[in-house]
Amino acid sequence: MYELNHAIEIAEDIIGDRFGISTSQWKRYRYDIRSLKDLKEHEIVDSAYAQILKYARHPDLRTTGSEKGEYFKICLQDHVILRTIDNHPELKLLSFMVYVVTHELLHVVRFARFVQSFYASENERIKEEALVHRLTHELLRHLKLPGMHETLNFFSEKVQVETFKGGGIQR
């Protein structure tokens, strides 16, 4: 998608610096970031910029019974993102994408390190969302990117970034 690879590069760099994750170590975090064209019907929502799903195994990966193949699929909702950019002329797509991807990767890192459970209660999830917004803000606040300041302002209004598909692992 539009600007996606660039946004992932920036986000992995910034989070890697902060949490001491090298490029090769990123491979141990099992996640995929996909845009709308690569989503199945149940992965598409209209109310969030992204949706995180936890799958039992990666579709491209052949795992044996004992091997853990669990991974997170970050499903970007292009239609919601583009609609927001259209409605807010002060926003720039790349900085907006950097915010969304950084925010999502922070969730993934926290899930993977068991700092936060994927199957949190609604209440815990609200707290986690506020915390991840704060972390994202802190990480991006000094990034010199056109429209970043406006993006940070936009998300400081307690906008929810994503939904989680809970209630068991999707297969």
Q: Which is nearer to Zn ion, 61 or 113 (CB)?
A: 113
Closest CA to 165 of 83, 78, 60, 72: 72
Q: CB of residue 84 vs Zn ion: minimum separation in angstroms?
A: 15
The site for Zn ion, by CB under 5 A, has a size of: 4
Residue 140 is a binding residue for Zn ion (CB under 5 A): no
Please tell me whether residue 161 binds Zn ion under the rule CB under 5 A. Answer: yes
Residue 139 in the binding site for Zn ion (CB under 5 A): no
Rounded distance between C-alpha atoms, residue 169 and residue 48, angstroms: 20
Burial of 136 (0-12, 13-18, 19+ CB in 10 A): buried
Q: From the CB of 164, what's the least distance to Zn ion, in Å? A: 8
Q: How far is the CB of 161 from Zn ion (least distance, A)?
A: 4
List the structure tokens of 163: 């939904």
Q: How far is CA 3 from CA 27, 28, 121, 154, in A?
A: 21, 24, 33, 19
Smallest distance from Zn ion to CB 21, Å = 19
Binding segment for Zn ion (CB under 5 A), chosen from 28-36, 72-80, 82-90, 159-167, is: 159-167
Residue placing its CB nearer to Zn ion in the complex, 93 or 129: 129
Residues 113-132 binding Zn ion (CB under 5 A) are: 129, 132
Under 8 Å between Cβ of 53 and 34: no
Both tokens of 57, joined, read 């195994």
Angstrom distance (rounded) from CA 58 to CA 22: 22
Cβ distance to Zn ion smaller for residue 11 or 132:
132
Q: Which is nearer to Zn ion, 69 or 80 (CB)?
A: 80
Instruction: Compute the distance between CA of residue 89 and CA of residue 85 in angstroms, rounded to an integer.
Output: 7
List contacts with Zn ion (CB under 5 A): 129, 132, 161-162
